Amino acid sequence: MKKLKNKSLIMTTVLITVFTCLTTNKSTAQDLGADLVSSYVWRGTQFGSGAHIQPWVSLSTGNLEFGAWGSFPTTASGGGNELDLYASYSFGSFGLTVTNYTFPGEGGAYSSGEGLLEGDYLELSGSAELGPINLLIGYFTEVEALYIEASFSAGPVDIALGYGNDSGDAWYVNGGSGLSNISLGGTKDIKISENYSLPVFGSLVYNPNSEAAFLIFGVSF
């Protein structure tokens, strides 16, 4: 219970700080969109089953951004509902992010003791652009799980390599450490009219730890 209260306090403090900055700055910008994916695979692990719709909305001012991201199955039996809140700040080619992950049930209802600001997992992450390589490091405070990912482009192909280390509960690699995500992907714009093109993307994902492979197709709106 103490950990839960600490997480709630952290997210509440972050939200108040971000909201104050956004509402007092006249240059605040908003953005929103959604992806439709054939399956929801994150860092080499599949969540739920079947197609998912993944909407997002964000507010930003200067280098500060606050947003919400979700993933919801297109069928009632799909499972894998997720609704996350995040706040990030960029320092040029570097960035810091706090993300609160929550998993509501059917109809958006949370289980007892859980809620939008009292999620199951809190992640602290940092990102950096190191020449052609994008580096991501994320740490889940509750389950003591570390994830490191390096991504880069080789011509038209986007490549990502992810390494997981589970100090506590089984998370990325069943309580151990090792490569958990190998991804090869690409994007394409399908021209619909003179003024609009539909962005589509696809990726082949392989998890060496679980020996699971996924072929994913998505459309962005």
Phi/psi region, residue 113 (left: phi>0; alpha: psi -120 to 50; beta: rest), is: left
| Confidence band, pLDDT 50/70/90 cuts, at residue 4 | very low
The structural domains of the chain, ordered by start, are 2-24+31-220 (2.40.160)
Mean predicted confidence (pLDDT) in 5-19? 63
Element (H, E) at 140: strand 133-140
In the chain, DSSP finds a helix count (H) and a strand count (E) of: 1, 14
21-25, 79-83, 202-206: least confidently modelled range: 21-25
Residue 104 or 46, more confident: 46
Mean predicted confidence (pLDDT) in 26-37? 87
* pLDDT score recorded for residue 79: 81
CA distances from 179 to 1, 88, 132 (A): 33, 26, 21
DSSP 141-203: TTTTEEEEEEEEEETTEEEEEEEEEESSSSSSSTTSEEEEEEEEEEEEEEE-SSS-EEEEEEE
Q: What is the pLDDT of residues 88-122, one digit of tens each?
A: 999 989 999 999 998 887 767 776 666 676 666 88
Name residues whose C-beta falls within 8 Å of residue 20's C-beta, 6 or more positions apart in sequence: none
* pLDDT score recorded for residue 201: 97
Mean predicted confidence (pLDDT) in 37-63? 93
76-90, 164-178, 181-195: least confidently modelled range: 164-178
Task: Tell whether the model's pLDDT for residue 24 goes beyond 70.
Answer: no
* pLDDT score recorded for residue 10: 64
Which three-class secondary structure state does DSSP give residue 19?
helix
Residue 101 or 10, more confident: 101
